Structure 1
Amino acid sequence: MQNLRVVSPSDRTDEVLRVLDETPGVAHVVVLRGAAVRPEGDVVDAVVVRECANQVLDGLRSLRLTHDGAITMQPVETVLSDAARSAEKKAPGDPDDAIVWDELIGRTREESSLTLTFVAFLTIALLLAAIGVVTDSPVTIVGAMVVGPEFGPLAALSVGLVRRQRSLIRRSLLALLVGFPTAMVITALGAFGAEALGWIRPEAMDDLQQVDFIYQVGPFSLVVALLAGAAGMLALVSAKSAALVGVFISVTTVPAAGFAVVAATVGSWRIAALSAGQLGINLLGIVVAATFVLSLHRRSARAQADR
């Protein structure tokens, strides 16, 4: 369930209560007249079933409260109340299948920002992947997969496409199109430094046995990317963090980028091209599958609302 708090101008509080009263799945409505100081007005608290959160937020947004007041919503782990249980029964659908779009957009917008932290994590992940390639270490490759932050902008891109939010699409594309090249350039500099020190031999690419799967592009490359994208979006909308970690270690986006860099620095252009192709297939597959999952969720929610 969700805890809703609304700061409303006093002349619109009755309309706020009307929205809450007309929406199934709302319980424990509390009104504090004149309690808000900045902005001035009344405070309305309520418990809202997750399945009805979008309906409530759309109704409140139509009252222009985002301009003259405020709307906040956050998850509530435990609610001990007969009224809350009754509200859950009235609400259509299942809470685990419900997507609170404003919550999802907020989470993906934050995770898709092009920040120094994002670039730092991506660079560290690519450096780990490069070390895993040079040492033929699948364990290090898995570590690079977990560290990589690239699923955030990929998920945001899917959300932006489904919701047709150009700002979110631009934000995620900027993170990917700037973050990956920056991290790859830094990794290339590190690879050149390692070659100068004699840590990397040009013939090292011919001796790989444990990590050569990274650049072996085939039909299963796309299948894995599609499955990972679908599972990742399901994990994101249902807040299943353990499942999301599993997604991170199932796709070879970061390892493929690191492999491409190392192969290019030692002159193995065929392997570099194959690795770049693996990277592109994984990125495309994740976005396509995640967008498809969100679209299905949206259609399902509309079908339940029309019943």
Structure 2
Amino acid sequence: MPRKVEITVSPERTENILTEINELDGLINLQVLRGASVNPQGDVILATIVTSALQDLERRLDRHDLGKKPGLSLSTSEPDSLVNYNFSDQLDRDSVEASWEEMEMIISKDSNATSILLLLVVCSGILAAVGIATNAMHVAIAGMLVAPGFMPIMRITLGLVSKSGAICKRGVIDVFLIYLVLIAVAAFTAFLMQLYGMNPLADSADYYEVTDTLFTYWTTVSTTSVAASVAASLAGAVLIATKRSVFTSGVMIGLALVPSAAIVGMALVAGDTTAAGLALLRWLIDVGIIVLVSFIFFICLKSLKIKRNIAM
């Protein structure tokens, strides 16, 4: 998909930046609105480019201190359609890579640990606990799907690779808050089950005949579970880098983040510290795999495609 780029710049720097942009390979059109920006005051440059030119454009703007001091700002968007005779073939075969800034915005949208997002985590914890306790696989999967549990871990890696300590720090805080709430909610749900005479870790009212297998899978580490986590982690990194975040719900099914975190809280309430420790170990290993795999992927992307640090 092509990009529409809006750049706000102080008037004395407009001509130099226009010259830089006009040299881009993949520039579809270029406009300048003199004095159009009121706050901050300045000119507005509007450009439409093919996506493969986005990284080159941002590297050129980095030379003018994009994001480092007032006077130069950038926003990108995608048009729903674009008809241009000169670029029809190039648009049809355009690349799909996002910039660091676009990836950060995608992650922010899906993982900032605000009060409304933590309400989703509460729902996820309840669903996961009920699904595990009753062996209702579809309920446990529902808990995995609604949890915003993957993106904040990716934010840590994105901050490390793009050289932003602030982004990395926000990722660590969001991971801590989200999974602390999830464990606490699962524990409280397990406590309520015990009040009603249920065993939250091995209830007799099973929907399926695979209770022990499911519980064991989410509390142990094996070659197959590691392979699944590696594949899911790589898929998640690729989805973010190509702006397909809607599919990351599928990534959560391939990972054990939600059920293993839920089992930690449930096992502690049930007094089974061994199960709690095993579940915590599985959760930590999954987090480690996500960080390692996405770090390698982002390093390769930075070296081959992006070739810059984040400006945010």
CA contact (8 A) 1:157 1:169 kept: yes
CA contact (8 A) 1:221 1:278 kept: no
- Runs (4+) of structure 1 exceeding 3 A deviation are 83-89, 109-112, 199-205
State the match for 1:279 in structure 2.
283
How far apart in 2 are the matches of 1:302 and 1:32?
Answer: 29
State the match for 2:118 in structure 1.
119
How far apart in 1 are the matches of 2:220 and 2:228?
Answer: 13
**Alpha-carbon shift at residue 104 of structure 1 (Å):** 1.2
**Structure having the larger proportion of residues in helix:** 1
Give the SS at the match of 2:234. Answer: helix
State the match for 1:27 in structure 2.
28
1:78 partner letter: S
| Pick aligned residue for 2:265 from 255, 261, 274 | 261
Give the SS at the match of 1:73. Answer: strand
Alignment gaps of 5+ in structure 2:
308-312
Counterpart mapping for 1:285-300 below 5 A: 285-300=289-304
| Cα 1:65–1:276 shift into 2, 3 Å | closer
2:290 partner letter: I
1:77 partner letter: D
User: Could you list the per-position Cα deviations for residues 121-180 of structure 1 after superposition, in whole angstroms to 9, with x for gaps in the alignment?
Assistant: 222212211101110111111111101101110111111121121111110111112321
2:113 partner letter: L
State the match for 2:77 in structure 1.
74
| 1:227 lines up with 2:241 in the alignment | no
Matched residue count: 299
Counterpart mapping for 1:1-307 below 5 A: 1-64=2-65, 66=67, 67-85=70-88, 95-96=95-96, 98-200=97-199, 204=203, 208-209=211-212, 211-212=214-215, 213-241=217-245, 243-301=247-305
CA contact (8 A) 1:51 1:94 kept: yes
CA contact (8 A) 1:25 1:88 kept: no
**Alpha-carbon shift at residue 241 of structure 1 (Å):** 4.2
CA contact (8 A) 1:29 1:47 kept: yes
Q: Alignment identity in percent?
A: 21
Give the SS at the match of 2:8. Answer: strand
How far apart in 1 are the matches of 2:129 and 2:246?
Answer: 26
User: Could you list the per-position Cα deviations for residues 254-304 of structure 1 after superposition, in whole angstroms to 9, with x for gaps in the alignment?
Assistant: 01111222222122232222211111111111121111111122222269x
CA contact (8 A) 1:221 1:282 kept: no
How far apart in 2 are the matches of 1:16 and 1:9?
Answer: 10
How far apart in 2 are the matches of 1:73 and 1:203?
Answer: 51
How far apart in 2 are the matches of 1:280 and 1:48?
Answer: 42
Alignment gaps of 5+ in structure 1:
none
How far apart in 1 are the matches of 2:103 and 2:201?
Answer: 46
| Cα 1:247–1:211 shift into 2, 3 Å | same
Give the SS at the match of 1:216. Answer: coil
Q: TM-score, normalised by structure 2?
A: 0.86
**Alpha-carbon shift at residue 94 of structure 1 (Å):** 5.3
State the match for 2:310 in structure 1.
none
Task: Provide the alpha-carbon RMSD of the alignment.
Answer: 2.6
